[in-house]
């Protein structure tokens, strides 16, 4: 078995071209997989919008409870990516070590899912307690009763794809994601509206469709791990998943701060969604649309960051400080080039981006469209900061640095971004636009702190 790299014939190429090629080759399928998985959420939002504005608002409220929990869990589970990458970088022949690391992530998925299910089952009560309208809270709770069962298969899928990425096997995860997108669209269409002989379950049907789709993705990776000759030797799903307490503790020491960092970021967006609900349903619907556009655009920086974590992790495991720095900086600058392009698109063609979610020329939608356009202008600005912090956070995870980035995220999002957003939203006429300005300020603060941290680690040689 060879270390995941470019073909040998590229070894004579200059390091810059070689590193860019390796980063793009690894990140390409990861980015497309992220887009495919995110498009499942986009499909849910679109079809709930077709059902009714109230269904869309209810889905947005429910998702604002689901996502912080889900992404916290993803952070813990996702620590297996830099752990596995460093194992591959240190010794590509260490199959047993990689298998143990994978099994701890798979076991952790169930440890995390159980309490999350209990919380999500009570989504309606949580929304009522924070003052959301009872009819929207009831619909959001119904949606969550279908969606919450997606959590465990989604975590198991993410753990598996992280190990696949460390081994350079990203194509199967892309294929699984693309198939799941088609399946999810059909299942949503059937279970929301009652087509093809299925029951018309409305918002509940959308949640069930996503749960089924996540299970399909997981099943495909399990099957692939059993038939691919390269992966079969690792026995990822054949061997018993026994706890290995030192490996389990290593995963959680790295993963808990990552989970807290991601939760700090996503919870600030979720809190903004809940605050939008307090401002009014029109603001909430506009916010849901623009957030979905921004989230879809973010899938590319996220994928580049995940690739950076693996590339940096390989070099970190091999104890090569020069390769660590090169892998990190190349991923950072490629990410910044992309976010400049995506931000320009948001500014140049905002109505084109909004059109799939609602009829922008319809008179009754005029207020929603106007708000969405104003939010999208701010979203274009924070694309730059969001892409930067995503790349830098993953670069640091590649060198197993997660505790200080967690502190920096908490300061940036909650000590800087949140107060600014609340002050502008509820004490000035800006209202919802003020919340988006606060989000942008928080992202900028986090990005600058993480850049300072990475430069400090680079000056000290990373080890």
Neighbour tally for 341: CB within 10 Å? 12
Alpha-carbon distance values, 409 to 83, 263, 333, 346 (Å): 22, 9, 21, 26
Compute φ and ψ for 75, nearest 5 degrees. Answer: -60, -45
Q: Per residue in 299-330, pLDDT tens?
A: 889 889 999 999 999 999 999 999 999 999 99
Quickly list H helices, 399-431: 403-410, 418-426
Alpha carbons 326 and 364: distance in angstroms, whole number: 52
Longest dimension (CA), the chain: 65
Residue 11 has a pLDDT of 46
pLDDT of residue 13: 53
Give me the percent of the chain exceeding a pLDDT of 90: 54
Q: Count H helices and E strands in the chain, helices first.
A: 18, 0
**CA-to-CA distance for 355 and 359, rounded, in angstroms?**
6
pLDDT in tens, 39-97: 787 788 788 888 887 888 888 788 878 888 888 899 999 999 999 999 988 888 888 88
Neighbour tally for 186: CB within 10 Å: 16
pLDDT at 360: 56
The average pLDDT across 204-216 equals: 94
Count of Cβ atoms closer than 10 Å to residue 376 Cβ: 22
Sign of the dihedral through C-alpha 36, 39, 41, 43 = negative
The conformation of residue 12, written as its DSSP 8-state character, comes to G
pLDDT tens digits along 338-387: 999 999 999 998 888 888 877 656 666 778 888 889 899 999 988 899 99
Rounded Cα distance between 412 and 447, Å, is: 9
**Does the structure show a pLDDT above 70 at 255?**
yes
Whether residue 134 is predicted with pLDDT greater than 60 in this model: the reply is: yes
Residues in the chain: 463
pLDDT-derived band at 409, boundaries 50, 70, 90: very high
Give the predicted TM-score (pTM) of the model: 0.82
- Is the four-CA dihedral 170, 171, 172, 173 of positive or negative sign? positive
CB atoms within 10 A of CB 229: 6
Which of the four pLDDT bands, split at 50, 70 and 90, describes residue 276? confident
Take residue 144 and report the two structure tokens written for it: 């969550």
| 65 contacts 120 by C-beta, under 8 angstroms | yes
Rounded CA separation 113/153 (Å): 9
Mean pLDDT of 402-418: 94
What is the pLDDT at residue 8?
Answer: 41
């Amino acid at each position: 078995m060879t270390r995941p790299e470019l073909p040998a014939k590229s070894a004579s190429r200059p390091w810059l071209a070689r590193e860019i090629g390796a980063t793009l080759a690894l990140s390409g399928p990861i980015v497309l997989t992220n887009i495919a998985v995110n498009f499942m959420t986009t499909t849910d939002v679109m079809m709930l919008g077709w059902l009714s504005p109230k269904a869309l608002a209810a889905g947005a409220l429910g998702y604002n409870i689901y996502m912080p929990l889900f992404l916290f869990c993803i952070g813990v589970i996702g620590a297996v990516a830099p752990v596995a990458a460093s194992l591959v970088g240190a010794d590509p022949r260490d199959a047993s070590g990689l298998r143990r690391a994978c099994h701890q992530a798979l076991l952790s998925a169930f440890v995390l899912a159980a309490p999350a299910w209990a919380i999500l089952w009570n989504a309606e009560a949580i929304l009522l307690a924070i003052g959301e309208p009872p009819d929207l809270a009831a619909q959001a709770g119904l949606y969550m009763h279908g969606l919450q069962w997606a959590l465990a298969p989604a975590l198991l899928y993410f753990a598996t794809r992280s190990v696949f990425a460390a081994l350079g096997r990203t194509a199967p995860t892309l294929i699984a994601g693309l198939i799941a997108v088609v399946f999810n669209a059909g299942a949503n269409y059937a279970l929301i509206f009652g087509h093809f002989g299925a029951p018309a379950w409305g918002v509940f049907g959308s949640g069930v469709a996503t749960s089924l789709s996540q299970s399909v993705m997981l099943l495909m990776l399990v099957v692939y791990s059993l038939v691919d000759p390269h992966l079969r030797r690792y026995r990822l799903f054949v061997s018993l998943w026994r706890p290995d307490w030192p490996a389990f503790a290593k995963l959680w020491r790295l993963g808990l701060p990552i989970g807290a960092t991601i939760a700090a970021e996503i919870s600030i967006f979720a809190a903004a969604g809940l605050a939008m609900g307090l401002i009014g349903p029109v603001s909430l619907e506009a916010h849901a649309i623009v957030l979905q556009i921004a989230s879809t655009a973010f899938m590319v920086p996220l994928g580049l960051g995940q690739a950076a974590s693996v590339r940096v992790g390989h070099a970190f495991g091999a104890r090569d400080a020069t390769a660590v720095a090169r892998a990190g900086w190349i991923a950072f600058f490629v990410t910044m080039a992309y976010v400049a392009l995506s931000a320009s698109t948001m500014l140049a063609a905002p109505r084109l981006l909004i059109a799939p979610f609602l009829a922008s020329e319809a008179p009754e939608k005029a207020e929603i469209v106007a708000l969405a356009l104003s939010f999208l202008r701010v979203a274009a600005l924070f694309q730059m900061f969001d892409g930067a912090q995503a790349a830098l956070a993953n670069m640091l995870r590649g060198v197993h640095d997660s505790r200080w980035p967690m502190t920096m995220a908490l300061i940036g999002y909650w000590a800087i971004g949140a107060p600014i957003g609340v002050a502008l939203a509820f004490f000035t006429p800006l209202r919802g636009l003020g919340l988006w300005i606060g989000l942008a300020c928080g992202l900028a603060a986090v990005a600058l702190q993480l850049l300072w941290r990475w430069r400090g680690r680079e000056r000290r040689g990373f080890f």
